[in-house]
Structure 1
Amino acid sequence: MFENLSDRLESTFKKLRGRGKLTPSDVEKGLREVRLALLEADVNFRVVKDFINRVKERALGAEVLESLTPAQQLIKIVHEELVHTLGDSAVPLNLSGPKPIPILLVGLQGSGKTTTAAKLAKFLKKKNLKPFLVPADVYRPAAIDQLKTLAKQVGVACFDSQPDQKPVDIVKQAMAEAKAKGYDVVIIDTAGRLHIDDEMMAEVEEIKQAVEPRDVLLVADAMTGQDAVNIAKNFHEKVGLTGVVLTKVEGDARGGAALSIRAVTGCPIKFLGVGEKLDALEVFHPDRMASRILGMGDVLSLIEKAQEAFDLKKAQELQKKLKKDAFTLEDLRDQIRQMKRLGSLESIIKLIPGIGSKLKDMPFDEKELVRMEAILNSMTPQERRNPKILNASRKRRIAKGSGTTVQDVNRLLKSYEEMRKLFKHMRKKGGLQALARNLFGM
């Protein structure tokens, strides 16, 4: 997301950094390029106009023109105004008040409501809450079955809706069941249409009055750009939204919807759907997103992902092993498995400040981790603990069992030895302790 915009802004600021002092003319020219970049990213033209005016007002003052590092000051102002445009700070779900807490998901057909309902349930389950999924879409074929299947995958309960029931009756019965069984949050997946119509709005309004949801979240497809903004505006005017979930952002290189929705509708973006997997849901942080747009990376999100994916107990055991130079192929396999839980290598690299933008065009072979894990799985526990016993015949057996070649096995063993050397070097420099402190608070 925002790749095209990030590239344009980076190019613009690179030119400004090449100058010593900045004149008002330099600033005007730079902001013209920023304006064009935002319009090309499909940001609402009124939002762009307001944004540029705010930046210009600050940039043409002493804050930038008399600074010793004027380009850096300008970037700082752009960052602060981007944060403001995106919504200033993260807005959490409203989980206060008596339980069960109803959350209503609304939106057009194909925006990803049903999958988002399951993702949200998984997100809440990780927070030690008991979510209850409610399929209230009786029109789309197999919509009810889809949510029931996803509920099983997530490991949460799902109301047994029937296609011949009225949606408002479904949600009333579901709320009563949730209360009786002690569920914390009820996530209601409503029906969508191909376009906004009075019948859909009337149904959503009826459900809203019946359950009085704490949150009404619009699920919108980020790739539809300004259409998503207009949809959000219509829903907010007719139903009253408390937030937006932008889906399919991993396929949206422009990001115009994310930059426009808050400013146009006043509704905060609460979550981003960043992939097809059921854990691919991120809390929307305006400050972190602004840093990503400007190529500054996002260390906090990276640390949060690491803390979620990596087992603290295993991390402590690994730290002890690294101190004793006892890192084995068993440990490497554990690390690969945990790395896979972090997400794609490309998405992780983008979060690292300073190198994310430089490596964006570098091809990442996601299958390499799968190949490495297959090779390690084909080894015996003894071979993983003591790779020195791996002779030519053992390597041939491992290659055959993993569907790879002997060269692939040798390449993995070489990488393993290089890792051991790197850890040895880090241990001498005290880098291991610093890494552990940052990631796990150890």
Structure 2
Amino acid sequence: MVLAQLGGSITRALQRMSNATVIDEKVLNDCLNEITRALLQSDVQFKLVRDMQTSIKRIVNLEELAAGHNKRKIIQQAVFNELCKMLDPGKPLFTPKKGKTSVVMFVGLQGSGKTTTCTKYAYYHHKKGWKPALVCADTFRAGAFDQLKQNATKVKIPFYGSYRESDPVKIAVEGVERFKKENCDLIIVDTSGRHKQEEALLEEMRQVSEATKPDLIIFVMDSSIGQVAYDQAKAFRESVAVGAVIITKMDGHAKGGGALSAVTATKSPVIFLGTGEHMNEFEAFDVQPFVRRLLGMGDLSGFIEKIHEVVPMDQQPQLLQKLSEGKFTLRIMYEQFQSMLKMGSIGQVFSMLPGFSQEMMPKGGEKEGQAKIKRYMTMMDSMTDGELDSSNPKLMNESRMARIARGCGRSIKDVMDMMEEYKRLAKIWINMKGLKIPKKGEMNALSRNMKNCEVQEAIPPEMLKKIGGAGALQNLMKQMGSAKDMMGVFGGRRK
């Protein structure tokens, strides 16, 4: 079961529970049993699942809940919190600082994508102003240095390695010393991939660690590894001081739950996800947004940051103004689709958006979903300016849709499907009317500093009423610990 399917299974279990006429012990147990099956089928370790179920039952004591409590929301929040806890070991993470030399050592199993991940990690920081460098201390795998050399050259990052020297410790020390003299502030050491039973390789890893004294050791875990993930990760943790985890190959059909178990085994947080083969398919990990996306709740704060990345600064104010006014036209939908295509993985972008139809992203359908977006855009290319700029869906009568279908070479049913998606989005985003949209860089400040009263002022009265008033808002703020999920925009600009 891929993670998207895992999230869908948990979401459906919660939905069935929510639809029950009365929330009693049987309904709660049925819901938890369904969630448990989904997690086990996704290769999450049995002990973790059992502990999660026990914890939720302890929190959600139906007999002790006073009358008037919203049992559905309490259960949903408990599931959300326990999933977050599973992914968050609650320990501080070492963070490299620009201008100050940091050594980061990568360890992992053979075939986990460790060497590619090293380069992605270097490239990610290079784009943000660091001066990274790569050291290949993998003398076990033939072609390891060639692979790192090719990757580093492609993204213009300095590298060090040797075809003649067979001692990985010597190579690592020489590489680190060289790049320290060149004032590189992020020196990344790639080590030989290994299996937990290969004691000689584990000892080699310990020696490299002792010689280079890394500030951070990152364990790279393939999301497809399955049930053995916990034991493998634990073996690495017992050999060296693993401080963080990067999960790779999150774009495939791997079950993924095993890799999530590695977080508990290493007692270290996930910091990045590898979501594809390309260098820019590398996503910083944040627990709460990830779980929200897993459960189909969206990650609007992450989405708005994506918008700021792809939409030019001079074009943002006009777009944000339109959306804060609650105006959602077909032209804006076109622009939004255009921005999605710029953002990279369509699946990642869709997972950030609450309310999106699953039909827009068929199973295993990155390419198919992208093709559907392009078909919709082609249909909109056959529309008049009046049709694109109207926010009245009734304008699109049968004769207009027939003309559009002829113009783009599609069927009338295809045009009707597109209009249904437009109506869905219009309903969601019309509720954004009056919302104060944060500017670039303000999202984190909002989540840290915004008080309940400030959030209340930012939300229009009709929206506040829909979520249950000021009291419900305060409870929501306490539960989620952040105001950032109250904010969100779509964006882009048609060229």
Partner of 2:239: 238
The whole-number CA distance in structure 1 between the counterparts of 2:205 and 2:57 is 43
Determine if the alignment matches structure 1 residue 29 to structure 2 residue 30: yes
The whole-number CA distance in structure 1 between the counterparts of 2:319 and 2:5 is 40
Partner of 1:379: none
Q: 1:245, 1:269 within 8 Å by CA — same for their partners in 2?
A: yes
SS in 2 for 1:251: coil
Partner of 1:105: 106
Partner of 1:3: 4
Do the aligned partners of residues 135 and 264 (structure 1) sit closer, same or farther apart at CA in structure 2, a change above 3 Å counting? closer
How big is each residue's C-alpha offset from its partner over 1:203-245, in whole Å with a ceiling of 9 and x where there is no partner?
Answer: 1111111110011111111111222222111100122211111
Determine if the alignment matches structure 1 residue 249 to structure 2 residue 213: no
Comparing 118-127 with 303-312, greater Cα deviation is found at 303-312
The whole-number CA distance in structure 2 between the counterparts of 1:440 and 1:187 is 28
RMSD of the TM alignment (CA)?
Answer: 4.1
Gaps of 5+ in 1: 323-328, 375-405
SS in 2 for 1:145: helix
Q: Quick one: which amino acid aligns to residue 205 of structure 2?
A: V
Matched residues, number: 400
SS in 1 for 2:204: helix
Equivalent residues in 2 for 1:319-398, closer than 5 Å: 339-355=340-356, 357=358, 359-361=360-362, 364-367=368-371
SS in 1 for 2:251: helix
Equivalent residues in 2 for 1:201-216, closer than 5 Å: 201-216=202-217
Q: 1:242, 1:268 within 8 Å by CA — same for their partners in 2?
A: yes
Determine if the alignment matches structure 1 residue 124 to structure 2 residue 128: no
The whole-number CA distance in structure 2 between the counterparts of 1:70 and 1:438 is 36
Do the aligned partners of residues 333 and 56 (structure 1) sit closer, same or farther apart at CA in structure 2, a change above 3 Å counting? closer
SS in 1 for 2:118: helix
Partner of 1:259: 260
Partner of 1:325: none
Partner of 1:292: 293
Q: Quick one: which amino acid aligns to residue 173 of structure 1?
A: E
Gaps of 5+ in 2: 324-330, 379-405, 443-488, 490-495
How big is each residue's C-alpha offset from its partner over 1:127-165, in whole Å with a ceiling of 9 and x where there is no partner?
Answer: 211001111112322211211111122222112433434
Q: TM-score, normalised by structure 2?
A: 0.69
How big is each residue's C-alpha offset from its partner over 1:87-120, in whole Å with a ceiling of 9 and x where there is no partner?
Answer: 1669654326994211000112110011100110
Partner of 2:158: 157
Partner of 1:283: 284
Partner of 1:72: 73
Q: 2:104, 2:214 within 8 Å by CA — same for their partners in 1?
A: yes
Do the aligned partners of residues 152 and 98 (structure 1) sit closer, same or farther apart at CA in structure 2, a change above 3 Å counting? closer
Q: 1:132, 1:158 within 8 Å by CA — same for their partners in 2?
A: yes
SS in 1 for 2:154: helix
Determine if the alignment matches structure 1 residue 17 to structure 2 residue 7: no
Q: 2:360, 2:372 within 8 Å by CA — same for their partners in 1?
A: no
Q: 2:273, 2:283 within 8 Å by CA — same for their partners in 1?
A: yes
Comparing 331-340 with 295-304, greater Cα deviation is found at 331-340
Q: Quick one: which amino acid aligns to residue 69 of structure 1?
A: N
Q: 2:87, 2:287 within 8 Å by CA — same for their partners in 1?
A: yes
How far apart are 1:191 and its partner, in Å? 1.1
The whole-number CA distance in structure 1 between the counterparts of 2:248 and 2:343 is 19
